[in-house]
Amino acid sequence: MGRPPLNRRLAEFGTTIFAEMSALATSTGAINLGQGFPDTDGPEEVREAAVRALRDGRGNQYPPGPGVPELRRAVAEHQSRFYGLSYDPDTEVLVTAGATEALAASLLGLVEPGDEVIALEPYYDSYAAGIAMAGGTRVPVTLRPDGERYRLDPDELRAAVTDRTRLILLNTPHNPTGTVLDRDELAMIAELACERDLLVVTDEVYEHLVYDGEHVPLATFADRFPELRERVLTISSAGKTFNFTGWKVGWVTGAPELVSAVRAAKQYLTFVSAGPFQYAVAEALRLPDSYFAEIRDDLRAKRDLLSAGLADAGFRVFRPAGTYFVTTDIRPLGENDGIAFCRALPERAGVVAIPSAVFYDHTETGAPCVRFAFCKRAEVLRDAAERLRKAFAH
């Protein structure tokens, strides 16, 4: 054989821990709290809207490249309704194949080979691969445990910026730690971006899943830092907010030049996707406030249920202010290798979790931590908590 087929840019991304852990869940019959997808579907009326679109022949052929106008308008209205942000649906909104494509296309459209991209570590698994595909160099800034939560060190972020830094890839609410950046942290990032001539791509897919405090889009700081408007690209998607992770309908909002750069890459990745679902998501975004309150309150209760179970079983639990996930430290159980722990957990306790180390470049920092998803039915979480308590609590 000559050289291995997978190229050097992607060599380190050949297999993912999610595939390994999901296979373990299947072969052992363990409860899968690894991958973050809900085990119930989104609202009936939104599913019906998708069926209607499909039957009426809306979106069954290639929709417009930037997304159907109904959805682009609904996204603009949503940004205005929840955050007072104003975007032109024609030039400042782009529909993508989920947040995943929005992230990849943003990086491909905005990053030159050799540019440095700062990302908050631990990070969502597609970030490292997206930066690599764009030929960028990733520069992790590590969130560190501080009492019950993980915190960003502003000095560490400032110190990570060099003359080669092009972009900060932000994620709030943050997967996997559940940290929600507060106004002071966001203001500091806004100021830094303007001072050091940086772009910020901000992944806000958990914007409606905040249990303590509030979600504040970075883009709202353009009031205080007017230059920011030309620098921030906001990403979100329907998957997490509406329990339709399989639909893969996402979007970006931002200044026309930024959105055009993303569109330039996006048109050669998928061009378009999810035609009929785009119409349904337009309706979903217009659901009354009560929908958004209910999904948040429901997930807050699930967070509390699983967190209490994990604490009872002996884990150190970091309280997530948002997202689908709770991070734990396994050292109180007498363990310190999260990867070995997660490989053994299905046999030992009948539960699947993800070792946090896979979300780090500094793998030793994440080594004793393990992430559990709580976006599951309450009875599933109760069962998992009971299994963990039996396996570990003495």
CB of 264 to ligand PLP, least distance (A): 20
Stretch that binds ligand PLP, among 49-57, 233-241, 299-307, 365-373 (CB under 6 A): 233-241
- DSSP secondary structure, 129-161, as one string: HHHHHTT-EEEEEE-EEETTEEE--HHHHHHH-
Nearer to ligand PLP by Cβ, of 99 and 198: the residue is: 99
Nearer to ligand PLP by Cβ, of 250 and 350: the residue is: 250
Total residues in contact with ligand PLP, by rule CB under 6 A: 14
Q: Which is nearer to ligand PLP, 42 or 350 (CB)?
A: 42
Q: How far is the CB of 387 from ligand PLP (least distance, A)?
A: 25
- Region binding ligand PLP by CB under 6 A among candidate stretches 155-163, 193-201, 207-215, 237-245: 237-245
Q: How far is CA 183 from CA 107, 213, 218, 381, in A?
A: 26, 10, 9, 33
Q: To which H or E segment does residue 51 belong?
A: helix 44-55
**Residue 173: DSSP 8-state:** S
Near ligand PLP in 28-67, by CB under 6 A: none
**Residue 316: C-alpha distances to residues 81, 329, 380 (Å):** 38, 5, 21
Residue 203 touches ligand PLP, criterion: CB under 6 A: yes
Determine how many CB atoms are found less than 10 A away from the CB of residue 294. 13
Rounded Cα distance between 112 and 166, Å, is 8
Cα–Cα distance for residue pair 262/207, rounded to 1 Å = 21
Span 160-189, contacts to ligand PLP by CB under 6 A: 171, 175
- Binding of residue 98 to ligand PLP (CB under 6 A): yes
Q: Which is nearer to ligand PLP, 104 or 190 (CB)?
A: 104
The number of beta carbons lying within 10 Å of the beta carbon of residue 27 is 9
**Site stretch for ligand PLP (CB under 6 A), options 181-189, 232-240, 350-358, 362-370:** 232-240
Site map (CB under 6 A) of ligand PLP, residues 239-278, x = contact: xx----x--x-x----------------------------
Angle formed by the axes of helices 378-392 and 289-313, nearest 10°: 10
* Spatial distance between the Cα atoms of 266 and 281, rounded to a whole number of angstroms: 20
Task: Pick one of 24, 75, 99, 129: the residue that binds ligand PLP (CB under 6 A).
Answer: 99
Stretch of 95-103, 334-342, 350-358, 365-373 lying at the interface with ligand PLP (CB under 6 A): 95-103
CB atoms within 10 A of CB 362: 12
Q: Looking at 2-10, 83-91, 238-246, 290-298, which segment touches ligand PLP (CB under 6 A)?
A: 238-246
Smallest gap from residue 230 Cβ to ligand PLP (A): 24
Q: Are the C-beta atoms of residues 206 and 238 closer than 8 Å to each other?
A: no
Distance CA 180, CA 272 (A): 31
Q: Does 157 bind ligand PLP (CB under 6 A)?
A: no
Residues binding ligand PLP (CB under 6 A): 98-100, 124, 171, 175, 203, 205, 237, 239-240, 245, 248, 250
